[in-house]
Amino acid sequence: MTIAEIKQNIRDIKDFPIEGIIFKDLTTAFKNPDCMKFFEDNMYDLYKNKGITKIIGIESRGFIMAPILGNRLGVGFVPIRKKGKLPANVMEVSYEKEYGIDTIQIHKDALNENDIVLIHDDLLATGGTMKAACELVKKFNVKKIYLNFIVELDFLEGTKNFDKDINVSSLIHY
């Protein structure tokens, strides 16, 4: 499967979640087993030799590929969720998104200083959510952080939000 074929499986939804936004909907790619295999194989190849010990998925679409990749890498999965969704003691960060303010949380016992972490989300737009996720993960003083996206909207320059020592990779660019 090629990048062009993958892009044909991603639909645009105008004015979602608010007017003026063109939302890249990956659910249409997720239902295609060839796309899923492409995502899994390519992400595995990127990270198989990085010493990853935990993979974090960001709610909600980051929960789709992160556990799949975690299973393939033989590492644990950690969720970052919206406020009020995790049952134990949490740390949280609030941040501004393109269309409002949001808060994300992680369990206080999710990581430790020996972890090498891959944080995954489906799409990088302006980078606000992932920047907040990085802030949360840095509180654990982990050894290394990698960031991964299936899709990156290059024109929004979201990668500018991340520290230079954090490796960022995206499979598909618009």
pLDDT digits (tens, 9 = 90+) for 133-153: 999 999 999 999 999 999 999
Q: What pLDDT does 98 receive? A: 63
Residue of 162, 171, 158, 169 whose CA lies nearest to 50: 169
Q: Supply the mean pLDDT for the chain.
A: 96
Q: What phi and psi values does residue 88 have, to the nearest 5 degrees?
A: -105, -170
* Torsion angles phi and psi, residue 123, rounded to 5: -145, 140
Residue 11 lies in a domain: no
Residue 139 falls inside a structural domain: yes
Q: Confirm whether 44 is domain-assigned.
A: no
Q: Is the pLDDT of residue 92 over 80?
A: yes
Query: Does residue 129 lie within any of the structural domains?
Result: yes
CATH label of the domain that carries residue 101? 3.40.50.2020
With beta carbons less than 8 A apart as the criterion, state whether 115 and 130 touch.
no
With respect to residue 160, please indicate whether it lies within any of the assigned structural domains: yes
Tokens of 136: 């949360």
- In the chain, pLDDT over 70 holds for what percent of residues? 99
pLDDT in tens, 94-126: 998 766 789 999 999 999 999 999 999 999 999
For residue 115, the enclosing domain spans 51-173
* Within a domain: 106: yes
Asked, for residue 73, whether it belongs to a domain, the answer is yes
Residue 23, domain member (yes or no) = no
72 is catalytic: no
Residues paired with residue 93 on neighbouring β-strands, in sequence order: 104
pLDDT tens-place string over residues 30-57? 999 999 999 999 999 999 999 999 999 9
Active site residue 98: yes
Please give the pLDDT value at position 100. Answer: 73
Q: Look at the chain and report how many structural domains it folds into.
A: 1
Among the listed residues 5, 11, 96, 98, the single catalytic one is: 98
Annotated catalytic residue, options 61, 81, 92, 96 = 61
